[in-house]
Chains A and B, each alone.
Chain A
Amino acid sequence: MLSTFQYPKFDYVRPPEIAEGRDGHCPVVIVGAGPVGLSAAIDLAQQGLRVLLLDNDDTVSIGSRGVCYAKRTLEVLDRLGCAEEMVQKGVSWNVGRTFFREEEVFNFNLCPEPDHHRPGMINLQQYYLEDDLIKRARLLPNLEIRFRNNVIGVTPDAEQATLRVETPDGAYTLSADWLIVADGARSPIRTMLGLDIDGKIFMDRFLIADVVMKADFPTERWFWFDPPFHRNQSVLLHRQADNVFRIDFQLGWNADPEEEKKPENVIPRIKAMLGDDREFELEWVSVYTFQCRRMNRFNHGRVLFVGDAAHQVSPFGARGANSGIQDTDNLVWKLKLVMDGKAPATLLDTYSDERCYAADENIMNSTRSTDFITPKSAVSKTFRNAVLGLAEQFPFARALVNSGRLSVPSFLADSRLNTADSDVFAGNMIPGAPMDDAPIATADGTQWLLGAVGNRFQLLHYVPDAGALDAASAQALRGLIDAPIAVEAIVVAERGTAPAGLTTLIDAKGRVRERYDLREGTSYLVRPDQHVAARWRALDLAQVRAAVARATCNA
């Protein structure tokens, strides 16, 4: 098979605990250096914490695996300082075509809303994503990654979690004040702790093949229902970096995974699909089944579960790695506040609540896609085919065709961290909303709203002319920084410069005002993970302080 990617081999280093014959301790230990564990580690290290990341392997993801990274994930990765490389390397696509039997029934153009920094999603092989994350992680001196360090035992108590870690040089004991478990769908640590994860298995098998196309092929997503070359099943084709194309064939439950994986069985399937004359080479093949399930809660005292270890979805809609990275986005600022003694440990319950809510939404959306793609009964298949038959002519039916819904972040509208609106606003930026991006200009050259917010609580205060901000408001805004949980005030304006001590953010195209329904005096309190916590039509310091307390379980 061909190889467009050279797998790096990371050095195993003999841990000092073994060299010195002692036990180790680190404030935060993360297990699993996949996309989710790496994101958690980088985020915590950026917050100034000392972090130890353990992985039982010494390379990146084998095979392309997770290939779709959605806009919200890219925005989180921007905050972690590594999205640009991924977007450059990855493939952005907008056109999708849907085929039913012999015909193309319709095509769509995602045609993203203008004036957002990042596209709706990029396609990029998981190994590239992990490679970029590891490069980023290695720039952080307080983050140590230990490869070929395999956790074989875990004992949590009220104050910490104690791990037994096996290496090529023997085993050692390591304790952590907090343990973040990112060891994947089969999660050995979840099993060691005897924790349940409930849901359903889908009785189906899919073959995935990465092929390298020799000739040009459009950068589009093609989805076939019941095509002539693969009767009664579905097929998906989309492009990744390096001219590598991912093809998914639905096989049915009775297929033999070992037989199906053999090149002599895979190649004819691809030839039937592409036509005999198109040259390609096979790069990687796998057969998978999947489950939709989640743990009842993601935090268990000092042990915090993230990503596939906590929840799994069907692959339709790319909600695995995307939701896992969003878990860490939600968790890290809360853990930092708890570790600093600025918030009670109950704040971590809200990590579980908010991300369980998101996991349920992801499971719901990916299950709906799965049920449309692989109907479970005769009547369900009849409805599915009726929708596809009507889709060619009728827009309402196109809207019902579900070959996977773009992974989008949850609106945490019911979170107990929100302060309910007492004023009237238009638009979607309600308390609990993931913030919409918009183009801006600042003195330091930041060009996007989401590049100017995050990592701390901030208050966005809107006035048309920043230079005309009255002295009392300026003093009040500056005072927000002097609190146990500091709030950085940012003046959003059409023009002008705010008085000394305040950051000015110019709403370059009027999109911030439009998307957030801003009027003179409107103030938004935003969380370190770029979610809206509260908003008002006028600035009132007491209300801001109360909302910060509420958003950190200090109320």
Chain B
Amino acid sequence: MTEIKKFPIPSAEQENIEESLGLVWHCREKGICEKEAVSSSLEKSVNPLAYGKLIQKGLTQESGSHLDLTARGEELAKGVIRRHRLAERLLSDVLSLDKNAIDPNACQLEHIISMEVTESICTLLGHPVECPHGSSIPPGDCCKREQKQLDPIVVSVDKMSAGDEGKIAYLRLQAHPELHKLLSLGLVPGTIIHLHQTYPTFVLELGETQLAMEEDVARNIYVRKGKK
């Protein structure tokens, strides 16, 4: 499905194209599709020629006042966004990099990670669906297969078994309006939790607080597993 990336090191032109595709995707997520708006952000963030380049390469096309991704452009853009956001997750959750260092490094990584590495990272992180900023990560083939050969470091609570312990890596607060309650109940990143049971409902213990929750709440809590 996902187009195979050329390796090893992409040329500056390829990098610019990937950068531009990522930006178009990002604009679309924010609901911006107008030609003028897209072209001006491309001009600002990449270079003045980027807009024309995309069309020339057949990655985007103008339709009326809008700029759309072509099927091929869509495929490539999805890959770039996926690699960028997975890289962010890796840098923040596993490598615990400083906040300011995450974005520039992710920008570099997105151009050089191969598909195999992308899938490994994705599996390692437990097939995350959101980047640390809450934007969604397009799923890859590995997510569909839910590969589990690599024991993931960060897992969602619903995949843990009773008796497991771990430290909360992040919560997917955007997934559910009620999840904000978790924060005020003390379930915040960095908290050490103990999963007491998984049936009939999940019961988590954090310090002196015991919380019972259903699977669809537990699914949105990601934990870096510790020793048993």
Task: Answer whether A and B are interacting partners.
Answer: no
State the B residues within 8 Å of A (CB).
none
- Residues of A with Cβ closer than 8 Å to B? none
